[in-house]
């Protein structure tokens, strides 16, 4: 029997995630949204692609939580998108209400699921979801670090004219303007990136990675990124559904690791069937550690603003 994945929110991120996941053939999918017709229409459209693409998974669209029952994983994409000039943090209050109301239903209908949070401000919303759901921390995880790292890798590959597959990196910390690209762990074909790109230029690329989401918001004007975020979500889904034990940068509940306590922040984790099976501690330089603590302080400010 195939696993079951529910996607809360059928907008650009949710719909594109559903498309990418159906094409893997790994799970049946339920698309949920409050807008009647939207999830049903997208589900039907996707199902009709099956004979062409070659997948047989079941895809259901619904505005009720009943069909989501007993999901193995619930992906939470629902929320207000950013507009030009807005930071991720500006979405705090509007998305607090959305997360609270919907996560209560997720916990009711799928009490044993892994909950994968995607909406912004990501780390604070993951912490809110942890409290509202009552789930153990390993079963609530946020998608951010994979996306931020993908942006960093993309810009480095463009700079050097090489395949993105040969660029390896980590971006840790909160999913905000003070995220922490780890230059010391960044290599291209095994060569440290600092040997290939001058320091000043490298810092410009680091800053572009930090501003990657805002750059796309500014270009689109009426929405935010969805192609790369959905690809990052599906990488996490595959790791969980196939119990791959992947080491990936994700937003996880840190309890003392890296000197940070009781807070969601982006760190390397081992991601498998149980969700976050381990938080992986890697040695950081003094500057990197200080930057990670600075971004954690920003996240904690948002968490406190939520009253958590």
Active centre residues (catalytic): 175
CB 233 within 8 A of CB 75: yes
Distance of CA 131 to the CA centre of its chain: 19
Other Cβ atoms within 10 Å of 117 Cβ, number = 30
For residue 303 the two structure tokens come to 């968490």
For residue 298 the two structure tokens come to 């920003």
Strands 275-279 and 59-62: unpaired
Please name which of 82, 79, 89, 130 lies closest in space to residue 106, comparing C-alpha atoms: 130
Strands 191-192 and 114-117: unpaired
CA distance 9 to 6: 9
**Secondary structure (3-state) at 302:** helix
As a residue count, the chain comes to 308
SS3 percent helix, strand, coil of the chain, rounded to 5, is 50, 20, 30
Crossing angle for the helix pair 227-241 and 12-24, to the nearest 10 degrees: 40
Crossing angle for the helix pair 286-305 and 122-133, to the nearest 10 degrees: 60
User: For residue 258, what are the CA distances in angstroms to 169, 172, 228, 261?
Assistant: 18, 11, 28, 9
**Secondary structure (3-state) at 155:** helix
Dmax over Cα atoms in the chain, in whole Å? 56
């Amino acid at each position: 029997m195939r696993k079951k994945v529910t996607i809360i929110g059928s907008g650009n991120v949710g719909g594109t995630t559903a498309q990418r996941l159906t094409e893997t053939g790994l799970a049946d999918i339920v698309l949920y949204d409050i807008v009647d017709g939207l999830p049903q229409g997208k589900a039907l459209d996707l199902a009709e692609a099956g004979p062409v693409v070659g997948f047989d998974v079941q895809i259901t669209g619904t505005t009720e939580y009943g069909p989501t029952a007993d999901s193995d994983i619930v992906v939470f994409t629902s929320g207000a998108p950013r507009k030009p000039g807005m930071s991720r943090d500006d979405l705090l209050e509007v998305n607090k209400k959305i997360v609270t109301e919907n996560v209560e239903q997720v916990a009711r209908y799928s009490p044993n699921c892994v909950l994968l949070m995607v909406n912004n401000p990501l780390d604070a919303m993951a912490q809110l979801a942890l409290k509202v759901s009552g789930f153990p921390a390993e079963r609530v995880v946020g998608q951010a670090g994979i996306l931020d790292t993908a942006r960093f890798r993309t810009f480095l590959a463009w700079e050097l004219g090489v395949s993105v597959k040969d660029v390896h990196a980590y971006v840790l910390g909160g999913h905000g303007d003070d995220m922490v690209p780890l230059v010391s762990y960044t290599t291209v074909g095994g060569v440290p990136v600092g040997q290939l790109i001058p320091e000043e230029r490298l810092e410009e690329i680091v800053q572009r990675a930090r501003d990657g989401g805002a750059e796309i918001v500014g270009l689109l004007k009426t929405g935010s990124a969805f192609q790369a975020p959905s690809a990052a979500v599906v990488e996490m889904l595959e790791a969980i559904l196939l119990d791959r034990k992947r080491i990936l940068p994700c937003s996880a509940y840190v309890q003392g690791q890296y000197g940070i306590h009781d807070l969601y922040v982006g760190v390397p984790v081992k991601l498998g069937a149980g969700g976050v099976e381990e938080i992986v501690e890697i040695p950081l330089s003094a500057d990197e550690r200080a930057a990670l603590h600075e971004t954690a302080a920003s996240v904690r400010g948002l968490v406190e603003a939520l009253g958590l």
